[in-house]
A and B are shown apart, each in its own frame.
Chain A
Amino acid sequence: MLMLMCVCVRLQLFYSFFKSLVGKDVVVELKNDLSICGTLHSVDQYLNIKLTDISVTDPEKYPHMLSVKNCFIRGSVVRYVQLPADEVDTQLLQDAARKEAMQQKQ
């Protein structure tokens, strides 16, 4: 159990950040070059993402995704997450990062 705790007690920053984006529309680009646009349904401490109402943004060269409406994406395969800019408070994010850095030092 200790090992589990080590993983994520300290890295709550992005989890906290993504939590605030739940319900917004994002585009997730994966490491296999697949881009998925959808509404962020939930996120967990591993930054696994659940999206609802998804559509593949690029021209549908991924036809196997046509019928998929909801998906669960493992956090480790995400390359980028494109966010709406107005939903992000950059100052707050900077502050959160500073706090996290301070915590890490201690």
Chain B
Amino acid sequence: MFRFQSLDEDCTLEEEDDGLIEEEDEIDQFNDDTFGAGAIDDDWQEEHKRLAGLDKKDELTAGDDESADPRSPLDNRLSLPPLGFSSSSALQSGDVEDKVSEGGLAESLARLILEADPAVAGVGAAERPAVPSPGSTSVFPSLHGLLSQSTSVQQQQQRLSSAPPPAPMLSYQQQQHLLRRGTAPIGQMNSHSIWENSLGFGPVSVPPGLVTHMEDSPLMSIIKEVGLPKRPPRSDEGPDLSERVPPPRSSSPVIGSPPVRAVPIGTPPKQPMSHTLNHQIHHPTAVHVRAPVQHRFPAPFPERLSPNTLLNIANSPLCRSPFPPRVGPVLSQIQRAQLLNSQVAGFPRGAPGLLPGGGGFRPFFGGHPPPHAHRMVPPPPLGPPNHTPIRHNTTILHPQHRRLLSQRLLSRGGDQSRPGLDRRSRDPYSNLMTPKEKDWVTKIQMMQLQSTDPYLDDYYYQNYYEKMEKRQEGERDSSSRKEHTTKLITPQVAKVEHTYRPVQFAGSLGKLTVSSVNNPRKMIDAVVTSRTDDEEKREKQVWNKRRQILYTVEKMYSLLLEVQDFEKRFLQVPEEERQTLLEQHKANTEQLCSALREKEWDNRVSDEQCVMIMSVRKGKRLVSRLLPFLSTPLANAVVMAIARNFPTLAKKDKQDQVLFWLVEPVSSVIQSLSSSLLTDLLQELQGSEGQLSSVLHNKFGVTLLYLILSEGERMQSSDPNCQLMDDNRWTELVFSVTRELLSVPASSLAPPLFTPPNLLSLFSRYVDRQRLELLQDKLQISALSR
């Protein structure tokens, strides 16, 4: 008994609306249209009075006893079947929903209503408990009023409250509460509450304005079910991906900027995006969206799946695929995702038997990066299944280093790989980036590590491991592994110099600020002024002496480093440049030597200068490293200077105690000394009175002494014709030494760094047996060390 009206007919309402219609006629017309022919035409105010009065007596009864004819449609309408409310008696559920399901209108309506009226939001919450029809009955007349008039709520309120006995005003929340509880003393409701009430029932919730535009039926079914599942008719907006990818790089102006490659390396890769992803991002709605999983499968495989979708897929029974992931053409979405994952870092998505491993940041368990010194990025995983080589490790390790690490890992990692396996089974953050994107990021980072001269840029690392290798080789026997002088080869790229020249136009004032990423603008217009050496010298005099020394030492150091590297560079450099390099080397050496001399024209090594340098700890180190590079006469001179000024040196070294650095180079120098020089050296060492004792008190001194003596002994024993004995000096000197040794109390005798073995034989030449034994005890030279 409903006159169900189509949407077309609905439109006639609008048309009629345009004209000037009398209110009364409108009311009637609306009533008929809305409620159907069965609508009552009486005065609603009367009705309301009646009903209100009735209601006052009878609070919670069902409306059955009340049901008069005029009310039956009401009851029907408002008795709330689960889908409940229809404003017209016409509306029994079924048709309405069909109507509603017609797409966009319903959705937009729903949104509008939901946004517009907070009460509507409560509709879903204030679900379908049966509202007593007494409440319902009273609503009807008010319904009329509401629908017919576009009056404000307050007006309604006035109207209504005038009719029934004045009702206390209940707040909205209270009303809702009552509604929900199902006990609604209608008489107490004012229009405001009625409005909300009616919202609870449904059809009345339509804001008056809306009625004119649409039919109630679609509205109501929208309202009754707040959560409309959004169908994938949104798929037409799928390929709108361009917002994800930044626009292509603007090319920088040609003037003054480095040439821009067609596709600068900084451009992120373009990739196809999953339309579902887009869907989620670009269409957030207040309405709950249940993205149906089923709809995704037919779609072409997107390279990237969000973790959520992947998890959904993984949880689906499709996950248990009978096929191993490596079977190419039969790959389904999941399997491909799995393969992707496994390529990245190995990822068992719940399916057993796949490549083990985990995603995301993984600890350094179970495997070292594959040895590829000649490639930038390590290849896809190989090796035993339990190993998880890390793809993202872009550090290229020295072969020595790698060996060490792998040794360490094998000892540690065996027991750890097991528990790790379980931990890795579910990584929701894997697969967020495609491999292309990863490569792109890696490329950018590796750009900074490219260098023309890895030896220079990576100085510490390279040298450290070379030294370690040498050390290890020294420990092992040198026969093995001679061919294995491992070298770290890093990819070498020609360095492109990007000098920035600001854009300038002739005759313009100032500089333009045309900047892009490839040539950023200059922040500071600073000019580098380098001071000449003369000025520096003058300024130096202002500083105190120590700083001067340090400065000199540093300068020498830089020269020394260049000299040290000369050989290596000489080999690397092509033929043409070798000459220049050689010359440079010579110049460096010359400079070094001149630094040791006090005055430029004086060929002798200045004692003072040497001592000055060596008064600083750094200087001693410098000299020790410098000595091998000096020419023989210079080196000898230096050693002489050391011996001569020994007490001073010893005194200055009291704090540092690092004179022993000098032992090795000095010993090599001594061993190349001639006999006369040696004697001279010994003499110098003894020097004036008391010097020898100080020598003996000092560790380095004793060592030095021993060195000299043993060298003399070596000379004597090896070469019978040696001239050491020609003049008596040597003998005398040795005598005095022995005398001193004997007289010096044993406690104050400093232990040497090492005792040359042939000392005993030396002493045996010069001293008698008794003294020899004494010496032996004192110096703890065992007879065996002969």
Q: Which residues of A contact B (CB under 8 A)?
A: 1-5, 7-9, 12-13, 16-17, 19-20, 22-23, 39, 41-45, 50, 52-53, 69-70, 72, 89, 91-93, 95-96, 98-100, 102-103
Query: How far does the alpha carbon of A57 sit from the alpha carbon of B500 in the complex, in Å?
Result: 48
A53 — nearest CB in chain B belongs to which residue?
B363
Contact A99–B520 (Cβ < 8 Å): no
Q: Is the CB of A12 within 8 A of B458?
A: yes
- Whether A89 touches B518, Cβ cut-off 8 Å, given contacts A22-B401, A95-B459, A96-B460, is no
Interface flags, B599-637, vs A, CB<8A=1, else 0 = 000000000000000000000010000000000000000
Q: Are B561 and A22 in contact (CB under 8 A)?
A: no
**B447 and A4 contact, CB distance less than 8 A:** yes
CB distance from B524 to the nearest CB of A (A): 14
With CB as the reference atom, state the residue of chain B lying closest to A91. Answer: B621
CB contact under 8 A between A41 and B465, given known A20-B401, A23-B404 = no
A8→B557 contact, CB < 8 A: no
Q: Which residues of B sit under 8 angstroms from A70, Cβ to Cβ?
A: 361, 363
Do A92 and B361 have beta carbons less than 8 Å apart? no
Q: Which residues of B contact A16 (CB under 8 A)?
A: 457-462
Contacts A2-B517, A8-B448, A23-B404 hold; do A98 and B464 have CB atoms under 8 A apart?
no
Given A95-B561, A98-B557, also A22-B395 (CB < 8 A): yes
> Which of A44, A70, A96 counts the most chain B CB atoms within 10 A?
A96
Chain A, residue nearest B395 (CB): A42
Q: Shortest CB–CB separation between residue A19 and chain B, in angstroms?
A: 5
Q: Does A17 contact B448, Cβ atoms closer than 8 Å?
A: no
On chain B, the residues within 8 Å of A8 by CB distance are 448
Instruction: State the CA gap A23–B561 with chains docked (Å).
Output: 29
**B405 to chain A: closest residue by CB:** A23
**Min CB distance, B378 to chain A, in Å?**
13
User: Complex: how many Å from CA A92 to CA B466?
Assistant: 11
CB <8 Å contact, B558 and A98: yes
Contacts of B401 in A (CB 8 A): 20, 22-23
Q: Can you offer 8 A-B residue contacts whose CB atoms are under 8 A?
A: A9-B451, A12-B457, A13-B459, A19-B397, A42-B393, A43-B395, A96-B459, A96-B460
A5 x B405 contact (CB < 8 A): no
How many inter-chain residue pairs (CB < 8 Å) link A and B?
Answer: 105
Partner of B361, one of A72, A89, A102: A72
Complex Cα–Cα for A43 and B448 (A): 14
Instruction: Determine the distance from Cα of A23 to Cα of B462 in the docked complex, in whole angstroms.
Output: 16
- Within 8 Å CB of B68, what residues of A? none
B393-444 residues with Cβ-Cβ distance < 8 A to A are 393-395, 397, 401, 404-405, 408, 444
Taking Cβ atoms with an 8 Å cutoff, the residues of B that contact A are: 258, 264-266, 361, 363-365, 393-395, 397, 401, 404-405, 408, 444-445, 447-449, 451, 456-465, 467, 498, 500, 517-520, 554, 557-558, 561, 621
Is A5 touching B447 in the complex (CB atoms < 8 A)? yes
The residue in chain A whose Cβ has the minimal distance to the Cβ of B396 is: A19
Inter-chain contacts of A53 with B (CB < 8 A)? 363
Q: Given A12-B458, A52-B364, A103-B456, are A5 and B448 also a contact pair (CB < 8 Å)?
A: yes
Asked whether B561 lies within 8 Å of A98 as measured between CB atoms, the reply is: yes
What is the bound-complex CA distance between A92 and B461, given in angstroms? 9
Check if A99 sits within 8 Å of B458, measured CB to CB. Answer: no
Question: Known interface pairs A8-B448, A20-B465, A45-B445. Does A2 touch B519 (Cβ–Cβ under 8 Å)?
Answer: yes
Min CB gap B695→A, angstroms: 27
Assuming A22-B395, A22-B405, A95-B561, is B457 touching A3 (CB within 8 A)? no
**Bound CA span A43–B264, Å:** 27
- Which listed residue, A1, A22, A91, A93, touches B447 by the CB 8 Å rule? A1
With known contacts A22-B395, A41-B363, A99-B456, A2–B561 Cβ distance under 8 A: no
Q: In the complex, how many angstroms separate the beta carbon of B440 from the nearest chain A beta carbon? A: 12
How distant is the Cα of A60 from the Cα of B520 in the complex, in angstroms? Answer: 47
Tell me if B464 and A89 are in contact (CB < 8 A): yes
List of A residues within 8 angstroms of B518 by Cβ: 1-2
Do most interface residues of chain A lie in helix, strand or loop, or is the interface mixed? helix
Known A4-B444, A16-B458, A89-B467; further 4 A-B contacts with Cβ < 8 A: A22-B401, A41-B363, A72-B361, A89-B463
A14: nearest chain-B partner, CB-CB: B460
Chain B, Cβ-Cβ closest to A99: B459
Partner of B264, one of A1, A41, A42, A100: A1
Chain A residues within 8 Å of B394, by CB: 44
Q: Which 9 A-B pairs have the closest CB atoms?
A: A16-B461, A16-B460, A96-B460, A96-B459, A70-B363, A20-B464, A52-B363, A23-B405, A41-B364
Distance in angstroms between the alpha carbons of A92 and B448 in the assembled complex: 23
Q: Are A92 and B558 in contact, CB atoms less than 8 angstroms apart?
A: no
Question: Which of A39, A43, A93, A103 is B460 in contact with, Cβ under 8 Å?
Answer: A93
- Distance from B117 Cβ to chain A, minimum over Cβ atoms (Å): 45
Separation in Å of the A65 CB from the closest CB of chain B? 15
* CB closest residue in chain A, given B528: A105
Query: Which one, A2, A13, A69, A96, contacts B363 given CB within 8 A?
Result: A69
Residues of B with C-beta under 8 A to A50: 361
Q: Which of these, B393, B451, B461, contacts A17 with CB under 8 Å? A: B461
Write out the residue numbers on chain A whose beta carbons fall within 8 Å of the beta carbon of B397: 19, 22
The docked-state distance in angstroms from the alpha carbon of A26 to that of B459 is 22
Contacts of A41 in B (CB 8 A): 363-364
In the assembled complex, the Cα of A16 lies from the Cα of B404 at a distance in Å of 17
**CB-contact partner of B554 in A72, A98, A100, under 8 A:** A98
Q: Given the known A-B contacts A2-B519, A95-B561, A98-B554, are A19 and B395 also in contact in the complex, defined by CB atoms under 8 Å?
A: yes
User: Which residues of A are found within 8 Å of B364, using beta-carbon distances?
Assistant: 39, 41-42, 52
Do A23 and B456 have beta carbons less than 8 Å apart? Answer: no
CA distance A8 to B393 in the complex (A): 18
Distance in Å: Cβ of B329 to nearest Cβ of chain A = 38
CA distance A72 to B464 in the complex (A): 26
- Chain B neighbourhood of A43, CB < 8 A: 395
The one of B444, B467, B557 that contacts A92, using a Cβ cutoff of 8 Å: B467
A39 to B416, CA, bound (A): 15
In the complex, residue of chain B having the shortest beta-carbon distance to the beta carbon of A101: B558
Looking at A2, A69, A70, the one whose CB has the most chain B CB atoms below 10 A away is A2
Once bound together, how far apart are the Cα atoms of A89 and B500, in whole Å? 38
Which chain A positions have C-beta within 8 A of B457? 9, 12, 16
Pair A99/B461 contact, Cβ less than 8 Å: no
Partner of A20, one of B456, B461, B621: B461
Tell whether, in the assembled complex, residue A1 and residue B444 are in contact, meaning their CB atoms are under 8 Å apart. yes
A4 to B557, CA, bound (A): 32
Which residues of the other chain, B, contact A19 by a CB distance below 8 angstroms? 395, 397, 458, 461
